[in-house]
């Protein structure tokens, strides 16, 4: 097993813990301010973490709509299918949980798809924030609805020029 490295990146909507080996990102999760930073003093972060941070900076600055940093997260075959579909949702677009289930070829697996969506550990890059309720309202986000709202409004402002998406 390869060594994993951690780095904390301070984004406009909170601190993000990046976990990677030398080849790919394994997790990108928001952490609360009370959570201690990893002790990484004196440890050189691999280039993949620097690439991820550069891409996040570009995303938050509005100059990146797609990520190229390699990613990998472990999960069941079904979870992998869901995460692949999430990855395909275009920037500044949303999809309902029902639409996600239909894309998976099984319209009745809405709850299972929602559960797999919630287990995504690579926030922003695997854009689970782009999945909304069938009534087009914000529902569920592991890192808080205020972050989900911010991310969607950021993307709609940059991608479509829409100033306010959700009240």
- Which residues have a Cβ under 8 Å from the Cβ of 148 and sit 6 or more positions away? 129, 138, 141
pLDDT score at 161: 81
pLDDT score at 42: 52
Specify whether the CB–CB gap between 69 and 25 falls below 8 A: yes
pLDDT score at 48: 97
CATH topology match: 5-61 vs 77-160: no
pLDDT score at 163: 64
pLDDT score at 67: 97
pLDDT score at 134: 86
pLDDT in tens, 26-49: 999 999 865 555 545 556 789 999
128 is annotated as an active-site residue: yes
Closest CA to 18 of 122, 118, 140: 122
pLDDT in tens, 99-118: 999 999 888 899 999 999 99
pTM for this model (two decimals): 0.89
Pairing outcome for strands 131-132 and 95-96: parallel
pLDDT score at 140: 82
pLDDT score at 142: 87
Mean pLDDT by 10 residues, the chain (167 residues): 91 97 97 61 81 98 96 96 96 94 90 93 97 88 92 92 64
E strand intervals along the chain: 5-11, 14-20, 25-31, 95-96, 131-132
- To the question of domain 5-61 being in CATH 3.30.160, the answer is yes
- To the question of domain 77-160 being in CATH 1.10.340.30, the answer is no
Structure tokens at 66: 């797609």
Q: In the chain, where are the structural domains located? A: 5-61, 77-160
Selecting among 128, 132, 152, 158, the annotated active-site residue is 128
């Amino acid at each position: 097993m390869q060594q994993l490295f951690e780095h904390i990146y301070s984004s406009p909507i909170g601190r993000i813990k990046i976990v990677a080996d030398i080849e790919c990102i394994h997790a990108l999760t928001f952490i609360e301010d009370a959570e201690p930073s990893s002790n990484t003093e004196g440890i050189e972060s691999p280039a993949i973490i620097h690439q991820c941070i550069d891409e996040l900076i570009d995303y938050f600055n509005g100059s990146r709509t797609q990520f190229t940093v390699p990613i990998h997260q472990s999960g069941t075959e079904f979870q992998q299918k869901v995460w692949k579909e999430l990855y395909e949702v275009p920037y500044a677009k949303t999809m309902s949980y029902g639409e996600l289930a239909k894309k998976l070829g099984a319209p009745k697996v809405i709850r299972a798809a929602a559960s797999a969506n919630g287990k995504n550990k690579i926030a922003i890059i695997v854009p689970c924030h782009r999945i909304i309720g069938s009534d087009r309202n914000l529902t569920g986000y592991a890192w808080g609805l205020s972050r989900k709202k911010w991310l969607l409004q950021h993307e709609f402002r940059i991608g479509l020029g829409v100033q306010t998406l959700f009240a």
